[in-house]
Amino acid sequence: MSETKHGIKVIDFHAHFPTANWYGRSGWRQRLVGKYGEERMGIFIEQSRKYRDEWRKRWEFEPPEARDRSDEEQAERWVADIDSKGVNVINFVTGGGNDNLAKVVETHLDRFTGFAHHALFEEGAGEEVERAVKELGLKGYKVIASSQTRPIDDEAGYPVWEACEKLGVPVVIHFGVLGGGGGPSYDLRNMNPLSLWEPAKMFPRLNFVVPHFGSGYIRELLQLCWSCPNVLIDTSGSNQWMRWLPYELDLEKLFKKATETVGPERLIFATDSSYFPRGFSEIYLVKQLEACRAIGLDEESIEKIFYGNAARLLKLG
């Protein structure tokens, strides 16, 4: 696909493959159950569900369907969906484990890429990154800082950062709130993107990509970017966290401030799309593209944000 209905080429840098083999945050959930107990965990989930329902209503998204289809069927649905919505390539940052996601990506190597997403602090995590990239063909690593059991700058995570830097692959690392309603985090020290300062300095050739504009920590993220030129920003999701800040912010202001500070070379379009029947969240693409054009970005800058920067990090020709 060389042209799209939106007049630009598009890579979605951050999506999740809805596999029936999904294991997702099972370990994260069990750690929280161990900390808070089943009863409190049930309350957390119900509170988050309330916000998720409000979010879907606001964006007119249907609830997710059951995860009962085969990966092969889901892969074909994704290709048909991104074809209809003008997307060239979609990058899945999770998908039921490294081996499972690699098999999904292999079904459509011209349209899919994927990231390793095993636990950061597990034994042999650095070696697993190397295997995932060299043997499985994955193109990066994804981790949720907010759900880790140790500080994200703990040296126990260095084998993963070393492997990623050596392999020349990017890291997507989520800070801020979790889930539609800002679900519980395991360690609040990992909410703030500034906690990445030491690893970003220790591994200056490694590209760290922080999604969702920092998910409520835009000030801290821009400070981190100021200090560490190897930190980039992905624009994924509805960015509903803007409603919870003590000052007015919208997509136009967000893109304006980000492009004025880090520049269009360090912004990467993404959606955080994850389930059917919604599929690729085209409305996020439309709204973000409108915001970029409303603030007067030139077409070269827009090409970088919505395609070029991701293509460079993913090494797509």
Rounded CA separation 312/317 (Å): 8
Q: What is the pLDDT of residue 41?
A: 78
267: exposed, middle or buried (Cβ count in 10 Å: 0-12, 13-18, 19+): buried
Architecture in CATH of 11-314? Alpha-Beta Barrel (3.20)
pLDDT at 74: 97
Q: How far is CA 292 from CA 190, 216, 295, 298, in A?
A: 30, 20, 6, 9
**What is the pLDDT, as a whole number, of residue 25?**
46
pTM, two decimal places: 0.94
Segment 71-82 mean pLDDT: 98
* 12: helix, strand or coil: strand
Predicted local distance difference test score (pLDDT) of residue 21: 78
Distances (CA, A) of 180 to 33, 130, 162, 251, 305: 19, 33, 32, 18, 25
> pLDDT digits over 10-53, tens only?
999 999 999 987 654 446 667 777 778 888 878 877 877 888 88
Confidence band of 186 (pLDDT split at 50, 70, 90): low
- Residue 315 phi/psi, 5-degree rounding, is 60, 55
Task: Note whether 10 and 266 are within 8 A (CB).
Answer: no
3-class secondary-structure state, position 117: coil
- CA dihedral of 138, 284, 147, 221, whole degrees rounded to 10: 100
Q: What confidence score (pLDDT) does residue 27 get?
A: 62
Nearest 5°: the CA angle 312, 219, 91 is 30
State which amino acid sits at residue 18.
Answer: P
Number of neighbouring beta carbons within 10 Å of residue 276: 17
Q: What is the pLDDT of residue 24?
A: 47
Give the DSSP per-residue string, 166-188: HHT--EEEE-S-BTTTTB--S-G
Q: How confident is the model at residue 2 (pLDDT cuts 50, 70, 90)?
A: very low
pLDDT of residue 251: 97
The CA-based dihedral angle spanning residues 223, 226, 228, 233, taken in that order and rounded to the nearest 10 degrees: 70
**For the chain, counts of helices (H) and of strands (E):** 12, 8
What pLDDT band is residue 181 in, cutting at 50, 70 and 90? low
Q: Give the per-residue pLDDT at 52.
A: 85
State the maximum Cα–Cα separation within the chain, in Å, rounded to a whole number.
52
Stretch 235-246: mean pLDDT: 92
Q: Average pLDDT of the chain?
A: 92
Domain coordinates in residue numbering, the chain: 11-314
Distance CA 248, CA 91 (A): 32
pLDDT tens for 271-308 read 999 999 999 999 999 999 999 999 999 999 999 999 99
* Confidence tier at 5 by pLDDT (50, 70, 90): confident
> How far apart, in whole angstroms, are the C-alpha atoms of residue 59 and residue 55?
6
